[in-house]
Structure formats: structure tokens, C-alpha cells
Amino acid sequence: MELTFSNQVKEVIAKSRLICLEMGYDAITEEMFILGILYDIINDNSGDRNGAVMCMMSMQTNIETLITYLEMKIGTKLKKVDTAPTGNVPLTKQAEKVLKRSTLMAIRFGEHGTIDTIHLLGSYLNEMDRVERKEFLNVNEFDLLTVSRNIVFDDQIKPNLSLKDEDSIEVQLAKSKERILRLKAASQETVRHKAKLKVVKPLSLIFDMDEYTPEEIKNIIALIGEIYHEQSGDHLVIKGMSQFQVVQELACV
């Protein structure tokens, strides 16, 4: 199956060109791709977010710190120009490498049919050398392994950040099963590498009481518990809360 760029990645590439020109440079670096991912946040637009942004939000990433870091790195690689280039703006060799290898990241994260912004972010992190990875982790408090535990695909983002999911219960359970499998694989890889990762919630469920009755929510939680037990051998534990409290508070597992 041939992988193609998602619409969000195509937009990111176009926005990285605008960022390059706005910053006064004549080439696009890999950091400009990440700034392109963050473009709507930077410019305070109300447009839909992409999967990579939602991933960073779930990791509680300090966006201002990340932007400052990216701009600093660009300044160490390029010199500003007096005259902005016209027409196509070239990619640096490293940016070209990151873009091409996002395909490999799409396969590594689980083939989804498209190369999404989360794959571009992953490729950016993966192509760093050891010193760069350590520096990035120290400043921004996340790395490739952390991202792999918080994967959000572009087509999972609802318009205007809506939390209302129109999928059937069966489809939602299937998505939850996929997420549990990714979490298990990432956890095993984390143990092997003995990585010190930022603590994040492994699984979150948000229920809309307009769509589901308390009884339906209890059944969903019970089914997910069964799936989790089948895949991990462990029992799903709702720490500090009973299932009834979860339903009443619309909290998370």
C-alpha cells in the first residue's frame, strides 16, 4: 500500500514555506516543519488542530518553550537574507531527509494509510543525533518514545476540537483496543531502553451524557477492561474511584 501525505501534512509543508519567508531565510529547515505544525497556535487561529498538536497537548508540552527552542536552532543553521526568495523555496538536506523518512515512521507507528503530522514529528525527533536528542529532551521534556505513547492521527481530529464522537460503540472499542496495543508495545520498549519518560495518562475516555446512559457507559468500561485483560494479562484498575464514580463524574480511566 502506497502511503501519501495527509491534507494536514500538505498544509504544514506549505506553512513552513511561509514561516521561512516571514523569518527572513532562504531555505526550509526541519524545525520549520514543526513550526508549521504549530502554525495555528502561533497565529492564534481558530482552525482545526492536527494530530501532532493534540499529541503535544496531551503531553502538556510547553509550546512557547518549544517555539523558542526551534527558532534558536534555525538561527544556528541559517543566516538571514536581505531579499526573500521567489518561487520554490529549497529544503535543507536534513529537512529533505526528515520529510522522506516520515514514511518509515508511518510504518513504525502502525500503517494508517497516510503520512500524518505525528509521523513528521516522529521523523524529526528520530533523525537527531545523540547530543541533539539529549538537548531537546532536557529543554522540551519529551522524546520519540513519549510521542509513541500519545499517538493521535490527523483523521481522528474532529472539527473545531469537538469531543463528540459520532462513531458507534463497536468502533470506539476497536480504537481503544488499538491504543492499548500501542501503549503496551511502547511500555515494553521503554523498559528495554530504561528511558526516563514524563508520566502521562495511559488511556482516557470522555463520555457525553447526551449520547450515552450511565448503564451504557458502565458496559463500555467493562468491555474495555476485558480487552485490556486479553491483551496485557492485567486487570484494568480505576485508581481511587469506583466504576460508578467514573460514570457520575464523567472522569477518565
The predicted pLDDT at position 98 comes to 97
Residues 207 and 100 in one domain: no
Residues 193 and 240 in one domain: yes
The predicted pLDDT at position 3 comes to 86
Residues 77 and 200 in one domain: no
Nearest 5°: CA angle at 26, between 19 and 117? 40
- Show which of 120, 146, 162 is a domain's final residue: 162
* 81 contacts: CB under 8 Å, gap ≥ 6: 24, 25, 26
Contact of 252 with 204, CB cutoff 8 Å? yes
What residues make up the domain containing 173? 166-253
Domain count, the chain: 2
Residue type for position 90: P
The predicted pLDDT at position 236 comes to 57
Residue 40 and residue 5: Cα distance in Å, rounded? 19
Run means of pLDDT, 10 residues per run, the chain, 253 residues: 87 94 95 94 69 93 95 96 87 96 90 89 96 97 94 78 46 60 54 45 54 66 68 56 45 37
Structure pTM? 0.63
